[in-house]
A and B are shown apart, each in its own frame.
Chain A
Amino acid sequence: MKKVKLFFTAIMVLLAADIASAQSAEVNGTVRDAETGEPVPFASVVLHGTMTGTVTADDGSYSISVPSLQDAVLEFSFIGYRTVLVPVEGKSVVDCELEVDAMALEDVIVVAYGATRREDVTGAVSSVESETIASVPVTSVDKMLAGKLAGVQITTNSAQPGAASSIRIRGTSSINSSNEPLWVIDGIPVINGDLATFDTSSSSSFTALNPNDIESITVLKDAAAASVYGSRAANGVILVTTKSGKAGKAQFDARVKYGVSWLQSDSGFRMMTAAELLGYQRDAIINAGMDPDDPTGSYYRPLSLLNGKLTNWVDHTSRLGTLQEYEISARGGNDRAKYFSSVSYHNNEGVYYGIGYEKITARVNADYKLLRNLETGVRINASYGNQESDVPLNSLYNASPVFAGLTMLPWVDPYNEDGTHNVNIPSNSNYNPRATAEYDTTTERQWHINGSMYLRWEPVKHLVIESRNSAELIYNKYNMFSSVKSNGNPNPESGRQVTWTEHLQLTTSNTINYANVFGGYHSFRALVGQEAMRYNYEGLNALGYAAQEEIPFLNSSDQSRIRAEELLSKETLLSYFGIVDYNYDNRYFLQASLRADGSSLFGKNSKWGMFWSASASWNINQEKFLRNFKPLDLLKLRFSYGVNGNNGIAAYRAYGVYGTTTYNGVTGMSPSSPANDELSWEKNATWNVGLDFAFFNRLRGSVDVYNRLTKDMLLTVKVPWTTGFNSNFRNVGSMKNTGVEVQIDGDIIYNSDFVWNVGFNLAYNENEILDLGGEDFISGGSFVRYAVGHSRYSYYVPLYYGVNPSNGEALWIAGKNDNGDPILTNQYNKAMYDYVGSPDPKVIGGFNTTFSWKGLSLSAFFEYRTGCDDLILNEQSYMNSDGAEMTLNQMASSLNYWKKPGDNGVNPKPIAGNSTNSAAAVSSRWLEDGSYIRIKDVTLSYSLPQKALDKMRIKGLRFYVSGLNLYCFNDVNWWDPDLGPIGYGAGTYPLTKSFVGGIEVSF
């Protein structure tokens, strides 16, 4: 109470003083480093709330004239130090000590159409700086974000070299539209999504980036942050800024790294050895009432099989993968021109024979000051990627090393007597993955060229007119040849497929920005802009058979069976937008944005969508009553609400289309899809409440609570036949994501020699479908259902109960009796279906810690998730088959099977040729808890001290060695629990372990 009184008194005094004083006065002083006591030159000293200010001299001294000695407040700041506000309080000498800002609270971060101080942000934003990016030796941008940012989930669809990840920011918002965030690279939204011909999702623009070219990445999570990209911001926005040149002497950075990778399961998953499999199969044969030693029986499995040549096919089809990367970059410039350029080469040989990836990137970023107020620059990135796999992966294919490598029988000889690969293997449909690796070709090559140019003109002070224009070209070429040499079937035929696709996206983005500070305390910014995008897709797909081995092209294929099709699609987007920012005294911040987007994807009556947001924040620590409360560095409350759009659907869905139809020998036209003139944007309304805090110059964190409501979901719904069709694509339905995010970083020890910091983030998200346009559910396939009241991804499968202890049969739950007890059945087709789980994790996050002592640094980073399930249904139904698959090797876990009455909690009794469906794929039997904690990377690095460097006349030298994905604590009976957003795979390249070492030199 006393304090409050004092506070009011102070205000009264200040007010009185303000009226009284009109004459100006001089204030002098010195600015010093708080720790060393050294003077700080070039520090800025500003009369708080005005534009009046000066800069300290070499000895740290300054002199400034203030209107009143009584109420003036001076603001001292310098890069790398925390800004300090000091009331003059009548003194004429005011010295100031600046503390090193360990937390970099006043970082400038890139936000939509501009940059802002972190302190000023009103929305939910996370960012990563270049140091963090560069320190992780990964190969693409998406990989290094995993677990780093609260609420940003990075999952691996396929760990095949060169494949991209799936990114979900704050859960999944859509059923038919896109769930991937918008990527904006250097101010230009780029092409995103899987553009590859085969299921490897490697062509998104971000895969063409060299991670070391990146200066910063900002993730815009809530509506306020993202809505100025309204159109496509429903799933969040990832802003990537690449490095620019710096004025000064040219600096070269060279990097070399080399690594190895290998297959390893940390959950105990493995296949059976020959002896185990033979024992298992013999039991299964006996259980089927047959004799394994009968050469004329259906299954002849004599013990002598073990005396022949035995092969561990996992070892035979896999190898130690290698990774090498070489890179050099240069940056420099003067006060007029600046440049940054880099080239890199990356080569990754996969852990399976025949699988590899090669990438070359080159970048030039240049900026030039044409006039005092006119600046221009370019950002050009070119890349080439070649993904080689010999067979199309992601299928349960006999020639795929990923699948067949597991399932091939150990007593099958991999080689012929002459040393060539054996392809006479009836148990594997006469394929041998090693023969395929040698003779077949499947390559997916991509060329990305992304160039943008900007012109920035400041015709009058405070007003900036900027135009950014870009062209992005992605050319994708898929070549496949399957040779007769790798196919041991009678009368084999070669196959040839060639597919090329070309994506061209042109974007222009033009803005006018006005920013000024009025009356000292009122800072104001207004931005209006216009953006237009045109996307053009073309392609050709051609297939042929029976090409000659020596001329493996369509030219020598059977000409009568060549099939070809053209692919064409176009899309346009036109947008107008505005943002208004206002802040009062760095205490109260308001921001509003409005954006109108027109998309060619929608119906002629509803192309335009209006998106908006409003947000506010309050820097409580800037209030006078807290300003001098030393331990508190930041306390900020944020609130935002806004609506974003999603147009991630295929082109032309709004159009009614006629296709051809034939009757009575006449080809006519008939309607093939209905018009929907009202088809429009899917909308995402999000509110977010956040609190940012920092204490003791040591600890910083934030907490966000949000609710994302997807409305007008794009769904295929039933309509009356009197419309001419019984279904149409409409805007109906809604879905919700609710969650909490926490991010905390802290320095436990921080001094000039020794630093120990830790970071932690956690995101909880809950997804629920609220409405499906009147339907209770929409089928998402044979075991996935989108159902009202459930998570977007929900497994809906027959309920497996377990084994019958008395006879070893599999039991299913057929229903529940009045008491709620399960009614059991031994028949799979009588089992009841139910919702059993979801691959969508409730909790995701990561934690990290770094110890540095002088130049030596040890860092470890962990990633975790929980509250989700995996359904390893495809592989388990083949490899845990209870005897149904007698020509495939089985998982070691199958050995735990029913042997005698009383055995419980085990696999059912194996029966050779089992036809009971006990191992049917679609079943809750394969559901497993997908939780894990992963040691994502551990890096030990050493940077040479300055003295040594000076002797060697270089600027920097760093050595490091990293272990990536070293261990994953989990219980999933598979290579790795991360199977993408869907939680299951089919012959998917698993995550591997690797060690990488490297050297970085700057000179």
Chain B
Amino acid sequence: MKKYILYTVAVIAAVTVSGCKDFLTEEPPLDQSTEITLSTYEGLNSATAGAYSRLASSGWYGGEFILLNEMKTSNGKKYIGTEYDTGRMEEWYQLNYNSQSTSSLYGSAYYVISQANNVIDNLTEDKGDAQDLNNLKAECLFLRALSYFDLVRTYAYPYSYAPESLGVPIVLHTASNDQSPRATVAKVYEQIVTDLTEAERIIDPEYRRAGGADARAFASIDAIRALLSRVYLYMENWQGAADYATKVINSGNYSLWTVEEMTDGACYTVDVPDGGEVIFEIYGGQTNSYDPGLEGLWSLTAGSYGDAGCAQDIRNLIGSDTDDVRNDLFVNDSKGVNASVWHTAKYAGKGIGSNVDYTNVIVLRLAEMYLNRAEALSNGARIDGRTADMDLQTLAENRGTTAPSSTPDGIFTERQKELNWEGHLWFDLGRQGRSMTRTDVANSAIPSEIAFPGDLWAMPIPESEIEVNPNLEQNPGF
């Protein structure tokens, strides 16, 4: 009898113990768990495609990242008290942001970084063709580098000014208990360069993600090189900036917009570019999960709310030569009620929406490559057969104007004329140690000069983040 009992107990114990591990595992049936998503090539491919999504959000290229950086400069003006004033963009224009009202890029960028990290960490050989996997990895490295670049530009002092000052936390493997401290600016730039050079090395030069409406809204070898050119320029690695700009220019994949193409800002209202300058852009469209809608660039410039107006400073700068086709890139009084109001025409919409229109946001384009190279060459970089003057001349010919002199001021001004309202000016000022000055301000309470250096040149880390990460140090002055 006793044997019998022992036997029964042993069977029950064996069954329960052996089945126990699987028995307690229940995967979510209606969603895909992170583990399963990242376990196959198809899942990794989808996760990589998904990593672009948030770039289009209102907090990043869909709106705020461009707008806040323009409104801090002489390109932007808030027409306070007019129909174009809905209360938006105030802190940026008045440069009185604090740790509560700082840029919201932080969350979006680390979200994209986590997406890139998740894919990179799970790209093991067994999951598919080596080149296919490398292409995914290159896309993720590019997105991670772009995220870190935008983060370090936003929340830290310029590399050229204080490379050993506080940068942003470098997270290469996202974990749910992460509390990383801030790395130095130099370390963050080092990581960006590492990621981009690795991406350049492994990506198939012909690779573009398939299936998209706009092929240039995905990473490519040219996009990687163009971003590297800009990163090196910010680091004052002149030869690097010139070399990578040259690689893009010589690829033959792009041509500078002509005066004709730029007339009436036509090149900025194209839905899907064919030829032309665009190397990498954010595609705007109704089906985007992160469609910024009325909080986006179209609405906040000329399209609807219009809080982000354009100052006379930039119009006058270009207007000094009335033949310059870039005079076409401003729109006057879009609501037809206040003739003194001006806006950029670079986000005038693609004419595909009624209540809300959609616009692409250019991140990297060919004209910048010419300007990067001109600046690098004028600072001592060498490219056989090319000079800074030649690059400035090429650009001027396509804008119906005369080339500036290849002095630091001449090139700087040309950058502002060409790249205004594309998110460059504030960072160009900072990296060259220039103060921000403007004359057309809404009222006397609005600062017309921000001296460099100063606390405002590194935006505060969001307070909510400081509260939950004990290792984060806030920027001075906030």
Which A residues fall within an 8 A CB radius of B? Answer: 459-460, 463, 465, 510, 512, 530, 532, 534, 566, 568-572, 574, 598-600, 604, 607, 651-652, 655-678, 718-726, 728
Contacts and interface: CB of A to CB of B under 8 A. Distances in A.
A574 B26 contact: no
B23 A658 contact: no
Contacts of B111: 671, 721, 724-725
Contact of B289 (A512, A569, A661, A728): A661
A652 to B, nearest CB: 4
A668 B53 contact: yes
Interface class of chain A by DSSP: strand
A670 B29 contact: no
A656 B46 CA distance: 16
A600 B110 contact: no
A455 to B, nearest CB: 11
A722 B53 contact: no
Given A663-B289, A674-B176, A675-B34, A572 B26 contact: yes
A677 B175 CA distance: 10
Contact of A718 (B27, B217, B290, B468): B468
Given A510-B12, A721-B111, A722-B169, A663 B31 contact: no
A721 B53 CA distance: 17
B464 A718 contact: yes
A72 to B, nearest CB: 36
Given A720-B178, A723-B177, A662 B53 contact: yes
Ranked 7 nearest A-B pairs via Cβ:
A724-B114, A668-B49, A668-B50, A656-B34, A670-B50, A652-B28, A665-B213
Contacts of A725: 111, 114
- Among A512, A661, A666: residue with most chain B CB under 10 A: A666
Interface of B: 1-2, 4-5, 8-9, 12, 16, 20, 23-35, 37, 43, 46-56, 106-107, 110-111, 113-115, 118, 169, 171, 174-180, 209, 211-214, 217-218, 283, 285, 287-290, 464-465, 467-469, 472
A574 B29 contact: no
Contacts of B179: 720, 722
A600 B465 CA distance: 32
B37 A658 contact: yes
A665 B30 CA distance: 23
- Among B49, B179, B290: residue with most chain A CB under 10 A: B49
A543 to B, nearest CB: 18
Contacts of A463: 5
A663 B285 CA distance: 8
Contacts of A532: 16, 23
B175 to A, nearest CB: 7
B24 A607 contact: yes
Contact of A670 (B51, B106, B288): B51
Given A599-B24, A664-B288, A665-B213, A721 B49 contact: no
B187 to A, nearest CB: 15
- Among B32, B50, B465: residue with most chain A CB under 10 A: B50
B1 A572 contact: no
B467 A718 contact: yes
A532 B50 CA distance: 40
Nearest to B44: A669
A775 B55 CA distance: 31
B31 A658 contact: yes
Contact of B464 (A570, A604, A726): A726
Nearest to A659: B31
Contacts of A676: 176
A655 B28 contact: yes
Nearest to B4: A459
Contacts of B30: 566, 568
B28 to A, nearest CB: 4
Contacts of B110: 721-722, 724
B287 A657 contact: no
Nearest to A727: B468
A655 B118 CA distance: 15
A820 B175 CA distance: 49
A663 B290 contact: yes
A726 B107 contact: yes
A742 to B, nearest CB: 42
Given A460-B1, A510-B12, A722 B34 contact: no
A661 to B, nearest CB: 4
20 contacts: A460-B2, A465-B5, A465-B8, A566-B30, A568-B30, A600-B24, A655-B31, A663-B52, A663-B56, A663-B289, A666-B211, A666-B212, A670-B115, A671-B115, A675-B34, A719-B468, A720-B468, A721-B465, A724-B174, A725-B111
Nearest to B117: A724
A574 B211 contact: no
Contact of B31 (A530, A657, A665): A657
A675 B176 contact: yes
A676 B468 CA distance: 17
B136 to A, nearest CB: 11
Contact of A663 (B49, B118, B174): B49
B106 A728 contact: no
A658 B464 contact: no
Nearest to B47: A669
A568 B26 CA distance: 12
B5 A721 contact: no
- Among B33, B34, B283, B289: residue with most chain A CB under 10 A: B34
A790 to B, nearest CB: 22
- Among A532, A600, A721: residue with most chain B CB under 10 A: A721
A671 B176 CA distance: 13
Contact of B48 (A600, A604, A668): A668
A666 B209 contact: yes
- Among A604, A607, A672, A723: residue with most chain B CB under 10 A: A723
A453 B147 CA distance: 61
A652 B23 CA distance: 15
A659 B53 CA distance: 12
Contacts of A667: 46, 49
Contacts of B2: 460
A807 to B, nearest CB: 33
Contacts of A661: 50, 53, 289-290
Given A658-B34, A663-B56, A720-B178, A598 B24 contact: yes
A663 B9 contact: no
A722 B53 CA distance: 18
Contacts of A534: 23
A694 B171 CA distance: 68
A655 B27 contact: yes
A532 B29 CA distance: 21
Contacts of A677: 176
B1 A664 contact: no
A720 B470 CA distance: 10
A459 B180 CA distance: 62
B176 A459 contact: no
